[in-house]
Chains A and B, each alone.
Chain A
Amino acid sequence: MLDRLWFLIPEFILLAGAMVCAIGGISTFAPIRKRVGFIASIFLVIALFSVPYVYGQTDYTHPETMLPGLGKYIKMMAAFVGLLLVATSGGLIDRGYERAIGAGKDRFDPLRANSGEFHALLLLSLTGVMLICEARDLIWLFLALELVSLPTYVMVAISRWSKTAQEAAMKYFFLGALSAALMLYGFALLYVSTGTLVLQEITEAFSAQQNNGGLLVIAQVGMLLAIFGLLYKIAAAPMHLYAPDVYQGAASAVTAFLAFVPKTAGMIAIILLLSTVGWEDGLPPAIEMALWVVAVLTMILGNIGALLQRSVKRMLGYSSIAHSGYMLIGVIAGPELGLPAVLVYLFIYGITNTAAFATLASLSRGGKRVDSLEDIAGLYTTSPLAAASMSVASGSLLGIPPLFGFWGKLLLFAAGIAAGQISLIIVAAVSSAISAWYYLRLIGLSLLSNPHNHGERTKVTLRWPLAVAVVGACISIAGPLVLEGVMVDAKEAITLPESELAMSLPSLEVDDERE
């Protein structure tokens, strides 16, 4: 039991951080109150550095989770991208309120201060992501998933003082509850079909069923329902409908969070669930076919939906849908090449997407947050840095060759080809080509076109998000240098303990001496 607790140390650190942030945010002592984000990032840094230490200890045996190596990769990734996300939300919450208090125009009222809660919830949500990796049974999995989701509902609502944010939060919450119900129904059916909630025992039961003439229909339905519930988290069709509205309604920093954290959570949960079935003999046809349909729909609907948008955030929301579709290719392809590719892609996508949204978060035009394509036009005239990072991020999301995003896509597509999913790759390639339209438009608008004459110029008003954007852009450019390391880590993360799969990609020659 203590072994299990040992591997939860990063989660405990974040939990402590969340408590400190929540209390600190309503402190009457302004310096603490204003630096909640900083406190949160300190805890994230500690958690980040604790992960290699925790997983480096040999005194503790890892609990019997489905993918024991997954935790190290995901926790580090969550903490690292979490840092970027905290910085992205820097200067967002309570800024005007604190300024009013500082100017003596307003009196401090804990009920109206949100920064502490915001950061506490952010940390809690990240804790949820980390906990998913340690899930040994369906209840843990469900609770962890809810720990990811519940804070995000609040974060959407308190990120902006606007009705659209409230509406987005409401939609997100109701539809999230619906999808959670779907998922729970699936879990119940899984329990019915196997008589257990422990993932490893479900695996055994499934293999017994496979030997006995195939998976029970009820098990397949349960699995599909659970996956469809999880599709909501990753914003994949047909559970994607909320995404554009919610992404547009929330503040950019929160949107960046929504596009990465629940997606990671959902992706890992799907991988964990599917690993009970296993890829050795191929997924059961019904599940594979369903995932195929979902991936195709997601890629096409995501990319096509983005074409018509005038709002950058909405456009990026659709693009986020499309990226889920790409990642599903890796899920279908299986643990040998596909799942490591998914993990690598999550990392790459997390950084580039955060960079894109962080650029938006840093900008404002005439005192309003930037949203429409018009606001982006001619960005280079006022802020070449923002324009450059926006372009690099878009290019990376599109997958322009030297950039990080290209390699992620390449890995996914290669995994798909290796798994024989040619039709899927063709759809992915075509929809990628379609996506060039709006990504390139983003680049063209920010770098090449002239600013709109009417109204004020778009300016950088928040520096922290811009810093995140620049860092993200730099990683997008320099990332390929560390790509191999990330791939090795991702491969180590996906080691199915029971299936005796090869621990590393066979065709990929990795220098053992370097490790």
Chain B
Amino acid sequence: MISIMQSIIATPAGQIDQLVDIVAPTWAQFILWMPLISLVLCGLCAALKVKTKAPAIITVISLATSFVLTLMLYFGYEGAEVIHIFEWIHVHWNGGSFISDFALYIDKLTLLWMLFVTGLGTLIAVYASEYMEHDVGKGYARFFAGVSVFLFAMSCLVMGDNLLMLYLGWEGVGFASYWLIGYFYQRPAAVAAAKKAFIVNRIGDLGLALAIYLIWSTFGTIQYDGISTALAAHNNDAATFSAFGGWTVHAIPYLLMLAAFGKSAQLPLYVWLPDAMEGPTPVSALIHAATMVTAGVYLIARTYPLFQLDDYALPIVAWVGGLTALFAATIGMAQYDIKRIMAYSTVSQLGYMFLGLGVLSSYGAAYHVFTHAFFKAVLFLTCGAIMHGFAGQLDLRKLSGLRKMRGWKIVSYTMLVGCLCLAGFPFTSGYFSKDAILAEAFVTQGSGFEILGWLAIFTAGLTAYYTFRVWFRVCCGPEYYEPGDELHGDDPSSFHPHPPRVAINFVLIAIASGAIIAALPYFMDNETKGINGGWVAEMVHDSPARGGVPNAVVAVVDGEHATAHEGVANAVVDQDHATHGSILGMDPHKAMYYISGVVGMIGLGFAFFFHLARRKAADSLRNKLLASRFTRWLPIAMENKWYVDEFYIAVIRTPLWILGKLFALIDRGIIDGLLVNGIAGTPRAIAKWFSPLHNGAVQSYAVSMIGGAALVILLMMFMPEIMSFLQSTMIGATP
């Protein structure tokens, strides 16, 4: 025990780690530090009660610096490397160690994520500088401090060189999310939503913590390098990992999955994300649409090889993703709050990403993360602009014809861009990224992947419907609006919508352009020969997630080059992997262009009919459904989000609450009353017993002191005699 302690003490000044590479671009660490600096400065602004937009300027500048540094890192990229910053935790003991450096692991997957995280972060901070201006001097600095915390944590999560840094970032983004959802802390709903998000995420975090522990105990390291080395030594084969402790390699992917499902709002842990829309809209756009919620996708992509160790891990990811996509889409169809629709659509699109990961299309998932970050951000930001301009109005029944109003054109058309992408309209970025996933569902043959594929195609139709339901309702049709309830004292009758100004419009255009341009990577050439899928595939190929890139070469098995697909498929698919899956007898990659395009157009057509051409038809359809005894459950259930929240309350929260009360009773009665107060009370009773000694009289002090000293000294000097006396009386006269 002492040696452990001493090693703990001795390590801070230990040896310089070998991992430090002198040529490593150590300046890359400033991608991480810039948001932290911004946090400190924003904190200072809050402390000094700055009444200007200084926090926004600071944050935008520092995030932009991060973005530029990321770009520099990208263009100077020469292969995966570890950038050592400082020694964080080094514990050694006999035959074991736990090492977690504060170091960055830069490969192309990291760069892909960092590019849109910092880029969108910067743009959304610009947007927020105008959006949050009613709070200048009050919560303004707090808001931007939260954004800075988020960016720092997200950078840790994505760039960390080991799972502990990922965990740090994971908890950090959770905290930032809690901070920002509860930004309007005067509103009970916001506080409740913040708590809900935090608590639901906690379940996932538990999974991550356990997974990290198991990974460490299995592989002896939590560094990505070390894990991949250990995996390579065993040819990525689960069977040979029996030496590592058998069951753990099978438990790890499920625990990681739990974490990913929590953070990325998948079934059954998605419930927090729609409520998280209580936060300011830039937060919803940045954290709850574009970046943080994709952390789960990143986690699985980063630990992809671990998922290949279990036969059922990836299929389960696929199924959960596919079902979440469908489930959330049905809820989204029946909502009236446009921000909430977007939230459900986020859940749904995240489902697509997990489907992509599950059906071995990690590059499709990554591409969808990339495109989704842009188009969902623009959708949220337009929603935010509308909310901002119409005093908090978000009900799509109370807004109409924005397209024709003065100053709302940019909002309307950037929203259209977002909607087109989200709906998977042909030749938009969303179309290509979604196709990559859908096609792969048919290509990879696994446990019911074909059914999943059809479900996903159906969901694509639903997506197109609910997306354009919003756009046709809000932006088209006759001009009409009702202001929301956040009038700030204005008279509702004299209300005029105030359209967004320069900053918001600029950001909307910039991100919308990004959403359009995001289609380009699909056509960009690969530097790596032999793989399909454009630039994103190239990015993913240079990472542990390359198993999901078509035709990628990952390992040498028996002297032959095996493609990653095959290597993974060995673990996932028990059928003959030589045969390519097909859809209706066609090559899925080609067929999907037409199928998804047609399905999207059908959904769009329905939306056009019900929400622009004949708006009354939508209501009459709903009424008809409600009128029939057999169909009335459908709209009610969909509008009430399938009663999942109520179900959770009944099945999980109420029993827990009862259990909690029970424990509280036990705690108060037995533990507090008997044990704690008993234990605490004993010293106090003894103290009372001794307190007469402290009567304040010098004489008695003197007597006690000298008497005590004399007693102890006499006792000590005659101890041998006393001991022998005691022995003789107790044991008797036995020698």
Contact = CB atoms under 8 A, between A and B. Distances in A.
Direct contact of A and B (CB under 8 A): yes
A511 B11 CA distance: 11
Contacts of B684: 304, 307-308
A514 interface: yes
Interface residues of B, number: 36
Interface string B691-735: 101101010011011111101110111010000000000000000
A286 B3 CA distance: 31
B706 A178 contact: yes
Nearest to A508: B6
Given A289-B716, A307-B684, A410 B5 contact: yes
Contacts of B6: 414, 507-509
Interface stretch (A168-176, A448-456, A492-500): A168-176
A5 interface: no
Interface stretch (A203-211, A217-225, A374-382): A217-225
A304 B708 contact: no
A437 B683 CA distance: 10
A400 interface: no
A407 B9 contact: yes
A33 B672 CA distance: 57
Contacts of B712: 224, 228, 238, 290, 293-294
Interface stretch (A146-154, A194-202, A240-248): A240-248
Interface residues of A, number: 53
B12 interface: yes
B705 A225 contact: no
B586 interface: no
Contacts of B693: 241
Contact of A245 (B10, B686, B687, B694): B694
B386 to A, nearest CB: 40
Nearest to B1: A417
Contacts of A231: 709
Contacts of B1: 417
A239 B716 contact: no
A303 interface: yes
Contact of B705 (A179, A221, A286, A418): A179
A483 interface: yes
Contact of A224 (B10, B686, B687, B716): B716
Nearest to B704: A241
B717 A303 contact: no
B13 interface: yes
Interface in B1-54: 1-3, 5-6, 9-10, 12-13
B151 to A, nearest CB: 26
A484 B10 contact: yes
B719 A511 contact: no
A418 B2 contact: yes
B630 interface: no
B690 interface: yes
A307 B683 contact: yes
Nearest to A485: B13
A414 B2 contact: yes
B716 A484 contact: no
A509 B10 contact: yes
B3 A178 contact: no
Interface in A420-464: 434, 437
Contacts of B680: 437
- Provide the main secondary structure of the chain B interface: helix
A463 to B, nearest CB: 18
A130 interface: no
Contacts of A286: 716-717, 719
Contacts of B705: 175, 178-179, 232, 238-239, 241-242
Contacts of A228: 709, 712-713
A430 B712 CA distance: 23
Contact of B687 (A308, A480, A481): A308
Nearest to A225: B713
A263 B711 CA distance: 23
Contacts of A232: 705
B690 A481 contact: no
A305 B687 contact: yes
Contact of B694 (A179, A244, A307, A484): A244
Q: Looking at A237, A304, A305, which has the most chain B CB atoms within 10 Å of its CB?
A: A304
A59 B304 CA distance: 68
Contacts of A511: 13
Nearest to B702: A178
A287 interface: yes
Interface in A470-515: 480-481, 483-484, 487, 507-511, 514
B13 A484 contact: yes
A369 B1 CA distance: 46
A224 to B, nearest CB: 5
A414 B13 contact: no
Interface string A336-368: 000000000000000000000000000000000
A308 B688 contact: yes
A13 B713 CA distance: 40
B100 to A, nearest CB: 16
Given A238-B709, A289-B716, A289-B719, A175 B702 contact: yes
B340 to A, nearest CB: 37
Contacts of B690: 301, 304-305
Interface string B84-120: 0000000000000000000000000000000000000
A108 B12 CA distance: 56
Nearest to A407: B9
A418 B687 CA distance: 32
A230 to B, nearest CB: 11
Interface string B247-290: 00000000000000000000000000000000000000000000
Contact of B691 (A221, A289, A308): A308
Given A221-B713, A285-B719, A507-B3, A174 B702 contact: yes
A228 B709 CA distance: 6
B686 A171 contact: no
A174 B698 contact: yes
A241 B699 CA distance: 11
Contacts of A510: 10
A143 B702 CA distance: 22
Contacts of A417: 1-2
Interface in A307-327: 307-308
Contacts of A244: 694
A182 interface: yes
Nearest to A483: B9
A81 to B, nearest CB: 23
A262 B680 CA distance: 32
A510 B11 CA distance: 10
Contacts of A301: 690
Nearest to B718: A286
Q: Looking at B1, B706, B716, B719, which has the most chain A CB atoms within 10 Å of its CB?
A: B716
Q: Looking at B696, B698, B702, which has the most chain A CB atoms within 10 Å of its CB?
A: B698
Given A170-B698, A225-B713, A245-B696, A238 B5 contact: no
A239 B13 contact: no
B709 A239 contact: yes
B633 to A, nearest CB: 49
17 contacts: A220-B717, A224-B713, A228-B709, A232-B705, A239-B705, A241-B693, A241-B704, A289-B719, A290-B712, A290-B716, A293-B712, A307-B683, A307-B687, A308-B687, A434-B683, A507-B6, A508-B10
Across the A-B interface, the 10 shortest Cβ-Cβ residue pairs: A238-B708, A286-B716, A228-B709, A241-B701, A290-B716, A304-B687, A304-B683, A308-B687, A224-B713, A239-B705
Interface of A: 170-171, 174-175, 178-179, 182, 217, 220-221, 224-225, 228, 231-232, 237-239, 241-242, 244-245, 285-287, 289-290, 293-294, 301, 303-305, 307-308, 407, 410, 414, 417-418, 434, 437, 480-481, 483-484, 487, 507-511, 514
Given A182-B706, A224-B717, 15 more contacts: A170-B698, A175-B701, A237-B708, A241-B705, A286-B719, A287-B716, A290-B712, A290-B713, A294-B712, A301-B690, A305-B690, A305-B694, A307-B687, A417-B2, A509-B6
